[in-house]
Amino acid sequence: MAATAAAPPPRPPAPRRGAGLRAEVVKAMTRDVKILVGVAAFVLVVGLGWMVFGPRPEPTPPVLGFVDQGPPPAPKKSPPPKPPFKLPWWK
């Protein structure tokens, strides 16, 4: 019996440029790590959605009876002062 040379294993297709490292990292992750990353991403998205679209906070109740009255009312315009004599006095 003659021994025949073993055929080399087939080469995997070359990954896209820039995607190789990411694909290797995802392949190296175990199933529980993938689930943990997925759940963390989901919680992050839900939390951000709650912060943006969640209920509006109620106004803070006054503390020890203090109530802010807001800005004071605008002062009434007073008429311009009248001089004690008619100007110009030479006419």
Write out 9-64 in H/E/C secondary structure.
CCCCCCCCCCCHHHHHHHHHCCHHHHHHHHHHHHHHHHHHHHHHHCCCCCCCCCCC
Q: What is the pLDDT of residue 46?
A: 96
**∠ Cα 8 14 16 (to 5°):** 175
Torsion on CA atoms 11, 16, 21, 24, rounded to nearest 10: -50
Domain ranges of the chain: 23-53
Rounded to an integer, the average pLDDT of 42-68 is 86
pLDDT of residue 66: 73
Tell me the whole-structure pTM to 2 decimals.
0.42
At residue 50 the predicted structure's pLDDT band, cuts being 50, 70 and 90, is very high
Q: What residue type is 8 in one-letter code?
A: P
